Amino acid sequence: METNITDPDSPVSEKLNENLKGLGTVSSFIEENIKNESIMGAVALVARKGNIIHFESSGLADAEEKNPMSLDSIFRIYSMTKPVTSVAVMMLAEEGKLELDESISEHLPHFKNVRVYSEDGKHSKPSSPITARHLLTHTSGLTYGLFGNHPVDSMYLEANIPINIRTRNKTLSHDLPGFPLTGEPGSAWVYGLSTDVLGHLVEVISGKSLGTFFRERIFEPLGMEDSSFRIKKEKEGQFTVAYEWNEDGRIIADHPRTSIYGEELTWESGGAGLLCSAQDYARFCQALLDGGTLSGNRILEEKTVRDMTTNQLSGAIWPFYLGTAGQAATTLLGENTSFGLGFRINEKEDPESLNGPAGSYNWLGYATTMFQIDPHNELIMIGLTQKFPTDHDFIEGFKRSVYQGILEK
């Protein structure tokens, strides 16, 4: 059985779920990880040529109360928020409200005084300003503080910059120019808070909160009913418990009844804040695969999608940089990959054809979530779990289980 991904009555019941376990390799892979307690549960969705060919919920959404995972479970997708924010920015660019290569200080004046780090403490004015293109490609010089060992990372950590989730986009954006950049804008790929600044840029240009812009311009047109920055009371039963694996075992990191994603949440993080179901994110992916449109609702022009999914890193030090102390960016990007305007891109097919052909694009989230869009095979895959920190082995294994299943079929 196959179901069209755009069908408003597409499956969300366990009865239909039984008919959509089309890839045994995926089922076996996830079941093995649950049995080993590498994860507690997962939802996997695979669509090909616009039809869902595998849609399965496995394991537990709440291990303590033994509540099973369901097809409509809602997950914290963290950095899978970044492509959504990037799409919002490109929508504004298409409308002529933003130039990708102009200084962001045209809209965010507080970035006029930003400086580039120098070991002697005499931080200098950058030779060129930060642009939206730099932010989209993570070449702005902004960092996270969490993944590298550049001196600026230490400054971020000391100031609790990446951790304070109860801040606001405006507050964060205004705080960041107080820290030096890791390097000249455009010079190197450095994973960081660039997309959060883009989120504030969307707010300033549109005059709306990021959540409102997403809802009106992306979620409602694409039929993404379970996507938001905050969990609604009526959706609490769909919201998974988040777990952290540490040296002492597994602990609850965030629970629906006491979640930080409740109504009091103030930071609508453009880089890591969204909650989403697998089917919702599949609709977003299908719109990109179809050149910016879904069910007659166009959110981007086809040329814009092509630009977003084409390598934009020419001239930047990549992919061997994540902080000047030399930590390899391959930790996040991987070999034979590049980066577009919000997406990691496969530049070369691996010998076993199990990582996707050249031109496939993807990203992941901190709680071990991932998506991949494969235009060559007209394929979308989404794997969502509730596991901290990111289990890269699971993500790569899931991707390979999909391609193994496709090759077998």
pLDDT per 10-residue tile (average), the chain, 409 residues: 64 54 94 97 97 97 97 97 98 98 97 93 93 97 88 91 70 92 93 95 97 98 97 94 94 95 90 97 98 97 98 67 40 78 91 83 97 97 96 95 89
What's the pLDDT score for residue 332? 65
Return the closest-CA partner of residue 135 out of 206, 81, 179, 199: 199
What's the pLDDT score for residue 163? 63
Position 147 in a domain? yes
The residues with which 242 forms a beta bridge, in sequence order, are: 254
Helix residue spans in 62-209 (DSSP H)? 81-94, 132-136, 151-158, 169-175, 194-206
CATH of the domain at 142: 3.40.710.10
Return the closest-CA partner of residue 148 out of 135, 133, 138: 138
**Would you tell me how many other CB atoms lie within 10 Å of the CB of residue 114?**
23
Position 9 in a domain? no
Position 118 in a domain? yes
Write the burial class of residue 76 (CB in 10 Å: 0-12 exposed, 13-18 middle, 19+ buried). Answer: buried
What's the pLDDT score for residue 132? 98
| Residues in CB range of 32: below 8 A, 6 or more apart | none
What's the pLDDT score for residue 15? 47
| Amino acid at position 257, single letter | R
Return the closest-CA partner of residue 319 out of 305, 302, 331: 331
What's the pLDDT score for residue 318? 52
What's the pLDDT score for residue 266? 87
Under DSSP, is residue 361 helix (H, G, I), strand (E, B) or coil? strand
d(CA 71, CA 60): 12
- Going 292 to 295 to 78 to 273, the CA torsion angle's sign is positive
Residue/partner pairs of 291-296 with CB below 8 Å, 24 or more apart: 294/6, 294/221, 294/222, 294/223, 295/6, 295/222, 295/223
Position 38 in a domain? no
The predicted model scores a pTM of: 0.94
Position 149 in a domain? yes
Phi, psi values for residue 201, rounded to 5°: -60, -40
Position 379 in a domain? no
- Going 401 to 407 to 408 to 409, the CA torsion angle's sign is positive
Total domains in the fold of the chain:
1
Position 275 in a domain? no
Domain that holds residue 156: 84-206
What's the pLDDT score for residue 168? 81
- Going 309 to 196 to 85 to 219, the CA torsion angle's sign is positive
Position 254 in a domain? no
